[in-house]
Structure 1
Amino acid sequence: MLPKGLAERELAHPELTELRMVETMHQRKAMMSDLADGFIALPGGVGTFEEIFEIWCWGQLGLHSKPFGLLNIDGYYDKLMEFVLHSREEGFVRPQYVEMLLMASEAETLLGAFESYEAPADKWS
């Protein structure tokens, strides 16, 4: 899925077998959420952070009950997880929501955690 504005900047890979065009980033994320069975963030930058935090928030609010996690290649997400744990210790993130965010350094391990994932009751229950 790619917003048309990015495709016009020639960011679309020419050899993709399927490319769905959307008007906006919001439409892109909504479509990805609808189509996905779960979400894995590979090491990335600001866009990756924004997307994983948004999907985490959506899960907390009960908008989905799909597993999501960080593929922690070479410890890339170690400092981010330290911050998440700090946020829990400071009382800003409840323990059950921290547990929602799965993390592993091997894809097979992360996918195994996905298989046993159970979403907590949503925030408003």
Structure 2
Amino acid sequence: MTTLKSISVFTGANKGSHPNYSHAAQSLGKALVKQDITLIYGGGNIGLMGVLADSVLNAGGRVIGVIPEFLVAKEVAHQGLTELIIVNSMHERKAKMMELSDAFIAMSGGWGTLDELFEVLTWSQLGLHHSPCGLLNIAGYFGYLLEFLEHSVAQGFLRSEHLESLLVEEKPERLLQALSNYHAPTIEKWIDRV
């Protein structure tokens, strides 16, 4: 069992087209506080990012935002966080979030969310970290993505062990439990050489 003190959550700067997404962000925020887990996130006050951060703060939890300076200048930085870390670039943001986190969750979002998710999964595959990664799959949001990843396994571009290391749940509490129970797979060879 892994002790989780802080979790990075990747999610959208928009709220999406269905209220289920905001409700899930609020539920995840409350679940993090209930388990005394610090939220690490992108530092914004808009979209699902803002909903999630406000949910944690309103429940008395701790929130650390990591945001590039150019986004602060666009006035999207959340000013009520426990701590706001301002960095120079998106690359530095992801590296800092990884450094601060014991686990990673992706919720509904767009390009940025997928970028962050796939980078942290790639780092895991390369052995740069052994932290658990999960998808909070609200209302089947990631269904087509999961089908594509299964297709990648079938076509020989992704190992099934690596796909299985991505934990998928529909309820925040179940996902947090899965992340706590995670044991990183031991994979000696991840590239097939001809």
- TM-score band (shorter)? over 0.9
| CA deviation after TM superposition for structure 1 residue 113, in Å | 1.0
Aligned equivalents of 2:124, 2:188: Cα separation in 1: 9
The one-letter amino acid of 1:46's match is W
Q: Are 2:75 and 1:10 equivalent residues in the alignment?
A: yes
Larger % of strand: which?
2
TM-score (norm 1): 0.94
| CA deviation after TM superposition for structure 1 residue 17, in Å | 2.9
**Which segment drifts farther, 114-123 or 79-88?**
114-123
2:138 equivalent in structure 1: 73
Aligned equivalents of 1:69, 1:97: Cα separation in 2: 12
The one-letter amino acid of 1:120's match is P
Q: Are 2:97 and 1:32 equivalent residues in the alignment?
A: yes
Q: Alignment identity in percent?
A: 48
Aligned equivalents of 2:76, 2:106: Cα separation in 1: 20
Aligned equivalents of 2:184, 2:76: Cα separation in 1: 35
Contact residue 4 and residue 24 of structure 1 kept, 8 A: yes
Q: How many residues align?
A: 125
Aligned equivalents of 1:123, 1:7: Cα separation in 2: 42
Alignment RMSD (CA, Å) = 1.3
Provide runs of 4+ in structure 1 moved above 6 Å: none
Contact residue 67 and residue 100 of structure 1 kept, 8 A: yes
TM-score (norm 2): 0.62
2:149 equivalent in structure 1: 84
Aligned equivalents of 1:14, 1:50: Cα separation in 2: 25
Aligned equivalents of 1:25, 1:121: Cα separation in 2: 30
The one-letter amino acid of 1:75's match is G
Aligned equivalents of 1:42, 1:77: Cα separation in 2: 9
Q: Which runs of 5+ in 2 are unaligned?
A: 1-65
Contact residue 59 and residue 122 of structure 1 kept, 8 A: no
